[in-house]
Amino acid sequence: MAGGRPVFLPGLCSALLMTVLLAGRRYIDPGSGSFAIQIIIAAVLGGLLTARLWLRHIFWRALGLVRRRKTEERPAGDEADR
């Protein structure tokens, strides 16, 4: 995960995972549990990644709209006066 990403998101997801994994039973075969948790973690992290990309996309689109509006509002010949 990128260093700049807020810590609370994975923390929240980890807490959600905790609700899935309640009290354990006897320790016999660690393989199945490792696959199960890996699939869950990857799903959560994959979802986060998608959400992050989607939020970034929305952010840049919104920023693009604001910039376009500002350019349109600027009077003609504004650049030439500088």
**30-73 vs 8-20: helix crossing angle, rounded to 10:** 140
6 binds other proteins, rule: CB under 8 A? no
- Does the footprint of other proteins cover residue 14 (CB under 8 A)? yes
Amino acid identity at 7: V
Pair 37, 21: CB distance under 8 Å: yes
Binding span for other proteins by CB under 8 A among 1-9, 61-69, 73-81: 1-9
Residues that bind other proteins in the complex, under the rule CB under 8 A: 1-3, 7, 10-11, 13-14, 17-18, 21-43, 45-46, 48-49
